[in-house]
Amino acid sequence: MEKIITQRNEIVSVLNNIRIKHLSVIVKEDEKNFMITGFITKADTNSISIFFEKIPDYIPLKNLKISFDYNRNFYTSDNTGVKQLNLPVKNIEIYLPEKFMYHPIRKFTRVDISDSLMFNIKKVDKNPGDGTSGLNIDELPATLRNIYLELQTDSPDMKKIVGMVGDELTRYSNRFRINLFKDLSTLSPIEKVVNIYKKTFWIGDTDNLSNYLHLGDKYSVIGYEKYFDMVKKTAAPDILEQIRQNYLSKGINSYAMVPIIVGERVVGVIEVSVPNESPFKKLTIYEIFYIKGLADILGEIIVKSHGETIKESSDFKIMDLSVGGILANTKNVYLTHSIKENNIVMVNIKADNKEIDIPSRVVRYHYMPGDNAGLNVAFEFIYDQDSKKNDLTAFIKKYVKYMAGGDQKTEQKK
């Protein structure tokens, strides 16, 4: 799957290396088909200045992305916007994006596959230590262990398990909510933060302003510092005080929002608002860890309720192909729960009246949201026989020749 950089100092370090090496970058906006090429002249924790070579007819002010090749990886940013524009000197200053995604660049020329060419996975050889769950049963508290063991039975009672999870949550609050995401555009601001950073949002004591910010990565929790990063505003004391008063006015003395994660995707949250009344107590980090365990179990339930396992849904549509690997699409968005990054799988390709079984490494996933949601999955071939590489090379050459002939016939008809 793609790697992500979210730390601002790390992002700035990469950008300054690009600047020093004088490597070109691309700024684009997909919907309006806008793209310019330029060079970084300055990068800091607030913005990036770019000199571009040609003045375009127009420049969108938002939804811009920066991309570039660096150290055999392809980098692309999250959406950002224009801070300042100076056309006479061909300079654009844009806000520093919240994150950059990157993945290795392929070593071999890829061929786009326009036909409905499919393949399937015959076998999954998981790496040592891999499993379908990140839970260690022996380390779980007794009550949580009972829920998880119920989940592992041959025919788990899903409603019973959800009820057991709900019973556990009532120990901490009578104001909790489990929300499974359906439309990302309807998420609340805090849900958006949790969805982006994939970490628990926690305010241990709503009366204490210092609990609203988590400056550092201790306990892997976040607070309003990430919200302010998301909306590109400063965490001013007066704004934090307004937020604090809002919680207190609602009688909330402790708060947490824990992500429910399947594979690498946040599919929902557990929200716990602890009322300022007996017998409920403020949430400590120990309660947060426990609720996180409940969220992991809900993730397991979601996967099992969809019946999505590698044996039941293993067909992929090939998007592009090379001697080095393959990019394919599957509608099984829960696949990341069964196959992890770096797992070795046996890819079975039916091509040219032959079946070619090629051991392959799962390189990365890219989740495609929307009504037609799915996963793009990249595989790197690990040949165990030269004959398989020769067969695939021959098929790719034949396919390219066939497609070129089809294009020529189309031109003649026109």
pLDDT in tens, 58-84: 888 888 999 998 887 889 999 999 998
Asked if residue 264 has pLDDT above 50, the reply is yes
Q: Is 189 helix (H, G, I), strand (E, B) or coil?
A: helix
The Cα-based distances of 198 to 184, 258, 260, 329 in angstroms read: 14, 9, 9, 24
96 closest CA partner among 29, 214, 16, 36: 16
- Provide CB contacts within 8 A for 23, sequence distance 6+: 39, 68, 69, 70
The Cα-based distances of 33 to 56, 63, 64, 332, 388 in angstroms read: 12, 12, 11, 30, 40
What sign for the dihedral angle of Cα 150, 152, 155, 159?
positive
pLDDT tier at 311 (50, 70, 90 boundaries)?
very low
Q: In the predicted model, what is the mean pLDDT of the chain?
A: 82
Q: What pLDDT does residue 324 have?
A: 85
Asked if residue 390 has pLDDT above 50, the reply is yes
User: C-alpha angle 98/219/102, rounded to 5°?
Assistant: 30
Residue with structure tokens 């909790």?
176
Q: Is 320 helix (H, G, I), strand (E, B) or coil?
A: strand
Domains of the chain, by residue range, sit at 3-104, 111-129+310-413, 137-306
* Strand-pair category, 47-52 with 176-180: unpaired
Per DSSP (E only), the strands in 174-264 are 176-180, 200-203, 221-222, 252-262
CA distance 302 to 179: 12
Q: What pLDDT does residue 42 have?
A: 93
CA distance 41 to 51: 7
Candidate from 57-61, 137-141, 154-158, 313-317 with smallest mean pLDDT: 137-141
CA distance 290 to 286: 6
Most confident of 100-114, 155-169, 199-213, 291-305: 199-213
Helix, strand, coil shares of the chain, percent, nearest 5, are: 30, 35, 35
Write the pLDDT tens digit of every residue in 317-341: 888 888 888 888 887 766 666 677 7
Cβ(94)–Cβ(66) below 8 Å: yes
Asked if residue 103 has pLDDT above 90, the reply is no
pTM score, two decimals?
A: 0.55
Can you tell me the mean pLDDT for 150-159? 75
Asked if residue 301 has pLDDT above 50, the reply is yes
Count CB neighbours of 32 within 10 A: 11
Per CATH, the architecture of 111-129+310-413 is what?
A: Beta Barrel (2.40)
| Higher local confidence (pLDDT), 391 or 254 | 254
Q: What pLDDT does residue 2 have?
A: 67
Give kind and range of the element (H or E) at residue 39. strand 34-43
Candidate from 49-53, 64-68, 149-153 with smallest mean pLDDT: 149-153
Same fold, 3-104 and 137-306: no
**Beta bridge partner(s), residue 270:** 178, 258
Q: What pLDDT does residue 288 have?
A: 93
CA distance 115 to 402: 11
Cβ(352)–Cβ(394) below 8 Å: yes
The Cα-based distances of 257 to 104, 244, 246, 299, 311 in angstroms read: 34, 16, 17, 15, 34
Q: What pLDDT does residue 133 have?
A: 47
* Strand-pair category, 65-70 with 24-29: antiparallel
- Residue 189 tokens read as 């601001």
CA distance 265 to 160: 25
**Beta bridge partner(s), residue 180:** 268
**Beta bridge partner(s), residue 272:** 176, 256
> Under CATH, which number does the domain 3-104 receive?
2.30.110.10
| Higher local confidence (pLDDT), 401 or 405 | 401
Cβ(226)–Cβ(193) below 8 Å: yes
Per CATH, the architecture of 137-306 is what?
A: 2-Layer Sandwich (3.30)
Write the pLDDT tens digit of every residue in 24-48: 999 998 777 788 899 999 999 899 9
Q: Is 332 helix (H, G, I), strand (E, B) or coil?
A: coil
